[in-house]
Amino acid sequence: MYNVPEYSIKTIFIDKSLLLEKNLIVQNALEYANHTKINIEYISNPKEVFNSFLKETEIFKKDIILLCKNKGKFLSSCPGSDGMVCCQYFVINLGIGCIYDCHYCYLQNFMNQPIITVFGNIEDALHEIKSKILNKKFHFRVGTGEYSDSLALDPIFKISPILINFFTDIPNATLELKTKSSFVDHLLDLPHHSKTVISWSLNPQNIIKEIETYTASLEERILSARKAQEAGYKIGFHLDPIIYHEDWEKSYKELLDLVFDHINPERIAWISLGTFRYSPGQKEIMQKRFINDDLTKKEMIIGSDGKFRYYKYIRYEIYSKLKEYIQKKDPKLFFYLCMETQYMWDKIFHFIPKSSKNLDMYFQKRLQYIDSIAKV
Ligand code: SF4
């Protein structure tokens, strides 16, 4: 079993209310802590823990985890972005915060809590997901990678195997686990029935080294993807955020070459493309935290959703080149633009989805196609 990176985690605070029932997530955490130097502290009031760290630090700490109950909703639709083409994705909120430290991470600006939080009341989450999804006339794509990395904390809490198992019994849903880690070995022998897509966010190794701190290398991510594909999982890739830099064309082409050298494109569920963007307020945080930050020095324009993006002509150049490379590898491969304008969709695909439902249909078709070739 893998360990989380060396530098992390110093303490896990466990909400005592989770101890009243035989909680699997707590048991997993205790078992992991047993063979590491992680300190366990039991607490009665999660708010007090938040407040004590709020006083201590302006920005969230990455070496402290609070394991507590979520008393709110677990499942919600992806908030998307005003005026951008959306793909009707659903988000499972099983915690917020991440042990990695990507310089561009939107959580820096979004999180209003000072430490990583993991929700241990998984049974409540599964109950809610089931009641909202089952028997609806719609195929749901749901993921856990919105407010944290889906697999980064799996060595400790092992939440993903529970979800993978759960989704085998939900005919009208596909689970997506999105990661920058290489933690897949514990998932390989599970009876997943191909209901889970494991996807990796990718960037060229020079970018990973500079700004995706503590994450797995490009090679490690691709080799884990290959292992997962060999174990029958559908695989996804997110080239997001694409970073515009001097050698961008060469480095993203090499990245795609490496992917297709190792991965069978026929079983890739999807590839998303999205250029670097940020919300107001994030630039200042990034410049404060990363003194030599280059990302926010590029000229950007503000979009209808209030986010800053590269100029249109730059985004067009990037997407059209990457489209050319991807289509050369496999013209049937399904790829899409994440949080992009109708204008950009039209320029790149000569088509604008009529609605998020309409776009969602292409995802379903791709999943069905992969299932159909698996049966041959
Ligand atoms: S892996 Fe994702 S959630 Fe974690 S720091 Fe990077 S961008 Fe943020």
Mean pLDDT of the chain: 93
Minimum CA distance residue for ligand 1 atom 8: 105
Confidence of residue 7 (pLDDT cuts 50, 70, 90): low
The candidate with the shortest Cα–Cα distance to 177, out of 168, 164, 166, 165, is: 164
Question: 111 pLDDT exceeds 90?
Answer: no
Cβ–Cβ under 8 Å, residues 144 and 94: yes
Q: Which of 148, 278, 282 to mutate to test the pocket of ligand 1 (most atoms within 8 A of CB)?
A: 148
Dihedral pair phi/psi, residue 244, rounded to 5°: -80, 120
N-term to C-term CA, the chain:
34
Q: How far is the CA of 355 from the centre of ligand 1 (A)?
A: 29
Q: What is the DSSP string of 261-277?
A: HHS-GGGEEEEEEEE-E
pLDDT of residue 2: 55
Minimum CA distance residue for ligand 1 atom 6: 102
Helices (H), the chain: 24-34, 46-56, 107-110, 122-133, 154-157, 159-167, 205-211, 218-230, 248-262, 282-289, 312-329, 342-349, 356-375
pTM as predicted: 0.95
Confidence of residue 80 (pLDDT cuts 50, 70, 90): confident
Return the CATH number of the domain spanning residue range 73-112+122-375. 3.80.30.30
Question: 114 pLDDT exceeds 90?
Answer: no
pLDDT of residue 57: 61
Distance CA 178, CA 197 (A): 8
Distance CA 128, CA 74 (A): 7
Bridge pairing between strands 11-15 and 75-77? unpaired
pLDDT of residue 356: 81
pLDDT of residue 237: 98
Q: In this predicted model, what pLDDT tens digit does every residue of 15-30 receive, in sequence order?
A: 999 998 789 999 999 9
Pocket of ligand 1 (CB under 6 A): 98, 100-102, 105, 107, 148-149, 180
Closest atom, ligand 1, to C-alpha of 106: 8
Omega before 265 within 30 of 0, i.e. cis? no
Work out the average pLDDT over 286-304.
91
Q: In this predicted model, what pLDDT tens digit does every residue of 217-251 receive, in sequence order?
A: 999 999 999 999 999 999 999 999 999 999 999 99
* Residue ranges covered by each domain of the chain: 73-112+122-375
Distance CA 250, CA 205 (A): 12
Bridge pairing between strands 11-15 and 277-278? unpaired
pLDDT of residue 8: 77
pLDDT over 70 percentage in the chain: 96
Q: How far is the CA of 291 from the centre of ligand 1 (A)?
A: 19
Q: Which of 7, 100, 110 to mutate to test the pocket of ligand 1 (most atoms within 8 A of CB)?
A: 100
